[in-house]
Homo-oligomer: A and B are copies of this chain.
Amino acid sequence: MNARTSENASFVAWRAQAQQAVETALSNWVLPGAPAGLGDAMRYAVLDGGKRLRPLLVLATSEAVSGDAAAAMRAACSVELIHAYSLVHDDMPCMDNDVLRRGKPTVHVKFGEAQALLAGDALQALAFELLVPGDASVPLGLSVALCRLLALSAGADGMAGGQAVDLASVGKSLDLPSLEAMHRRKTGALLQASVMMGAATGQVSSEATAQLQRFGASLGLAFQVVDDILDVTADSAKLGKTAGKDAACDKPTFVSLMGLESAQQYADRALAEAHDALSQTGLVHRDVLHSLADWVGRRDC
């Protein structure tokens, strides 16, 4: 995922360092020891190749609010595990039936459907386990706040609910509010939760919290519109997943609803709104979050 515009060198360095730290933490927490190959399937699903956008959002927000760094890394990995499990289940034959993800065979292709189902289930449990470490490393109130944000964003009113709407909307033409509502749940909820979990690791005023919520929501929308655009304009090799899938599956997208050019303008507006919300947080150290938003809104893969 390279930005269309030139990137700030310090952000590129921050991102590389943070991605490496997330990769290491995930590798330490998703252990191969789980029985009967389950651990291998879980590691295959999680390690090696993701952009780690959600963890980066957690870490960058936590840094912006001078939050608890150890708790932030747990939160970062927990959202990534939820994201990873959702991809494993979403790729299964009864859902999107996809064979390629991050440039590799999907988990059910590699390990079989039953193991993929279980690996996804176990990853969701592990996501919550990370937030309740069983020692004093995360303050109790913070553990509870993080668990609640994660559970709400992953469940029926969040990601899982959005996927149900997505399933039900195949072959239908949704209007813009319905399409936005679906994506607010399906991808937006976990992206917004990433921001809010990062914020929870520090002390933030209620005004700044509200603006961070708006930042997360706008960023989530920008992410999805760009996703829809790239599904049309990019090729599978670059995306690391099957391109053209939305149209092939007859799914409503921002591009099918408004055309490519208007979708790009819509994405630009969502990105501008994210930047505006961020500037109104009044947070001093918001440069990395600003660059992360650019990275999302202007990516080309």
Binding site for B on A (CB under 8 A): 31, 34-39, 42, 85-86, 89, 92, 94-95, 112-115, 117-118, 120-122, 124-126, 128-129, 131-132, 134, 140-141, 143-145, 147-148, 150-152, 154-158, 160-165, 167-169, 185
Q: In the complex, what residues of B have CB within 8 A of residue A152's CB?
A: 129
CA distance A37 to B131 in the complex (A): 30
B122 and A94 form a contact (CB under 8 A): no
Copies of this polypeptide in the complex: 2
- Residue of A38, A86, A115 most packed against chain B (CB within 10 A): A38
Q: In the complex, what residues of B have CB within 8 A of residue A95's CB?
A: 114, 117
A117 with B94, Cβ < 8 A, contacts A34-B157, A154-B125 known: yes
CA distance A5 to B147 in the complex (A): 44
Residue of B nearest to A116 (CB): B94
Residue of B nearest to A148 (CB): B132
Question: A49 to nearest B CB, angstroms?
Answer: 21
> A114 touches which one: B94, B132, B143 (CB < 8 A)?
B94
Q: In the complex, what residues of B have CB within 8 A of residue A151's CB?
A: 125-126, 128-129, 132
> A134 touches which one: B92, B129, B148 (CB < 8 A)?
B148
> A160 touches which one: B113, B122, B134 (CB < 8 A)?
B122
A125 with B160, Cβ < 8 A, contacts A114-B94, A140-B144 known: yes
Residue of B nearest to A155 (CB): B125
Q: In the complex, what residues of B have CB within 8 A of residue A154's CB?
A: 121, 125
Top-7 shortest CB links A-B = A125-B155, A94-B113, A34-B156, A129-B151, A122-B160, A38-B164, A36-B168
A selection of 14 A-B contacts at a CB cut-off of 8 Å is A34-B156, A34-B160, A35-B156, A38-B164, A94-B112, A94-B114, A114-B167, A115-B167, A118-B160, A118-B163, A122-B155, A122-B161, A134-B148, A143-B143
